[in-house]
Every structure is written in structure tokens, then in C-alpha cells.
Chain A
């Protein structure tokens, strides 16, 4: 039982490049989330998916797209990376309610 897994763990991009961050959970949770974490700012919600087939914008969605591929997987795509997107990205999942979320280990992204 791995919980929430994320790939890759680290990534360096040049400005304008694109990439997809992958997230998968094996807890059969309905809801999944993408956050970014910047120093001194806690966690800010980028996008979330309340259930398979639905996605909604969070607090900071600009520059990102998401896909809820199936119940297990929720990917985050940067179409044209910018230095302002340098951050640590966390995926989380929860059991249908917004309460208790379980987090993955994070992806550390640097955009040069």
C-alpha cells in the first residue's frame, strides 16, 4: 500500500518547456488535489478533482492544466514553464470529503 506517489521527484526545466507531473493513489479515494508550496506561503491549491471525470480550479490555476485520467491518477501539466513556477508540487487525495487529505512526497521543480 504505497499511498500517494508522485513522479518525478526532481525536475529542471528551461523557460518555455513543457512537462507533466504524475500522481497516483492506491487508496480508492474519490478526490485528488494539486498544490504548490513556496517558502513562507504554506500550500496553495492549483486544481482539484472531486471525483473521476471532474476537475475544478483552485486558488492559483493560471499556467497549469490537469487531467483526471481515472480514479487512481491525476496529472498536472505545465504547457510553457516560467521561472515563477519554480516550486515544490504536492499531490493529495481524500475520501470524498474535503477533510483529511493524504499527501505524496512532492516534486521539486526548478525553471531556469
Chain B
């Protein structure tokens, strides 16, 4: 299973700044998901995207399903200290592929927010 290419690997930002990260692949995906993992916990779903071009918000988080279906973006606006964690993208592919039934994950973006 090939991991998705997620960047940046880490980000050190000041409280109040906006954060952007992205995930790319050489393969087409039918679904893009964004998860957040806090220290000592399991990943928690933030946003799910199901259509190319879809733009979805969840509070200060906004994610987009790339029009080519090979990428996705997550933005966090006006960051606060509790945004600290690792953000993972994940994608699932078409029923006709041999990866049907499985999610592929990016390596994660570590976000550190300083006051």
C-alpha cells in the first residue's frame, strides 16, 4: 500500500495564524478524509469529502476535494493552542480497485501552536 504524500511534515505557528496542509497522490481517490490525532489518543475524524471539487467546513476547519481527485487540502483558520496535534489525510479508492475496503493514510502533519 502506497502512502499518500502529505506536506508539510511539521508546522510551528503562532496563535491566530492560519494553517494550510495538503495531500497528493498519483492515483484517483473517491473519498478524502481528514483526521486529527492528539497525544496518546486515536485519530478523530474532522471532515469527510465525497465529490471532486467539494469544499466542506467544520468550524474553523475547511477542506477541499481536489478537482483532479488526486489531492486534498485542509485549512485551519485563526489557530488556537488546542489545534496542536497530528493531522492525517486518508483516501479510499474505487470499488473496482484492489484497494477497495481500505484507507490509505498520509504520514501526517505535526502542528505546534505557540501563544
Inter-chain contacts of B9 with A (CB < 8 A): 40
Determine if B43 and A90 form an interchain contact, defined as CB atoms under 8 angstroms apart: yes
Contact count band on B: 20 to 34
| Cβ < 8 Å to B, chain A residues 62-112 | 90, 92, 98-106
Determine if B33 and A43 form an interchain contact, defined as CB atoms under 8 angstroms apart: no
| Contact with A59, one of B1, B42, B44, B90 (Cβ below 8 angstroms) | B1
| Cβ < 8 Å to A, chain B residues 76-115 | 88, 90, 92, 100-103, 105-108
Determine if B100 and A98 form an interchain contact, defined as CB atoms under 8 angstroms apart: yes
Residue tally, chain A, CB below 8 Å to B? 24
| Contact with A42, one of B31, B33, B101, B108 (Cβ below 8 angstroms) | B108
Inter-chain contacts of A105 with B (CB < 8 A): 40-42
Q: Which residue of B lies closest to A31 (CB)?
A: B101
Inter-chain contacts of A50 with B (CB < 8 A): 101
Q: Which residue of B lies closest to A60 (CB)?
A: B1
Q: Which residue of A lies closest to B100 (CB)?
A: A98
Is the CB of B45 closer than 8 A to any CB of chain A?
yes
Q: How far is the CB of A89 from chain B (nearest CB, A)?
A: 10
Inter-chain contacts of A98 with B (CB < 8 A): 31, 92, 100-103
Q: Give residues in B with beta carbon < 8 Å to A.
A: 1, 3, 6, 9, 31, 33, 35, 40-45, 48, 50, 88, 90, 92, 100-103, 105-108
Q: Give residues in A with beta carbon < 8 Å to B.
A: 4, 31, 40-45, 48, 50, 56, 58-59, 90, 92, 98-106
Closest CB pairs A-B (n = 8) = A103-B42, A59-B1, A42-B105, A42-B107, A43-B105, A98-B92, A98-B101, A103-B43
10 pairs across A/B with beta carbons < 8 Å?
Answer: A42-B6, A42-B108, A45-B1, A58-B102, A90-B43, A99-B50, A99-B92, A100-B48, A101-B90, A106-B41
